[in-house]
Homo-oligomer: A and B are copies of this chain.
């Protein structure tokens, strides 16, 4: 049930953008470098974030990425929805057609409740609050982390 590197890297990218707010577009290569993430891989992640209207891109020289909205107006839920897509936990919780169980299925109600608990947490956090927390990471040197 682990979250994927997509969400983890994507959140770190957004935190960096939030912290540099106002300084003009940020190069992907800078973020990839400081966060020690593959630039190519990041460049694919960020497409989702742009598609969801969380970041804007500026092409060409002096280009890069900026947040599309103030960080205080971007919820963690939007971020995860954009990066993971679809239901968090289980298909049948959203899509009854995926399972022949009855609507009152006890197991389904358990997973639906878990899904809701997660969404509530994610809805309650904004990128602005997150970015103001402690450090992001040292990230001057050291190996790429393990999953």
- Residues of A at the B interface (CB closer than 8 Å) are 1-4, 7-8, 11-12, 15, 76, 84, 87-92, 98-102, 104-107, 109-111, 113-114, 117-118, 120-122, 125, 130-131, 133-139, 142-143, 145-147
Residues of B within 8 A of A106 (CB): 15, 130-131, 133-136
Dominant SS among interface residues on chain A: loop
Residues of B within 8 A of A117 (CB): 117-118, 120-121
> Once bound together, how far apart are the Cα atoms of A98 and B146, in whole Å?
6
Residues of B within 8 A of A12 (CB): 107
Closest residue on chain B to residue A12 by CB atoms: B107
> Once bound together, how far apart are the Cα atoms of A123 and B106, in whole Å?
17
- Whether B89 pairs with A109 at a CB distance below 8 angstroms is no
Closest Cβ–Cβ distance, residue A137 to chain B (whole Å): 4
A135-B100 contact given A1-B3, A90-B8, A118-B118, CB 8 Å threshold = no
- Whether B8 pairs with A135 at a CB distance below 8 angstroms is no
A104-B134 contact given A3-B1, A120-B117, CB 8 Å threshold = yes
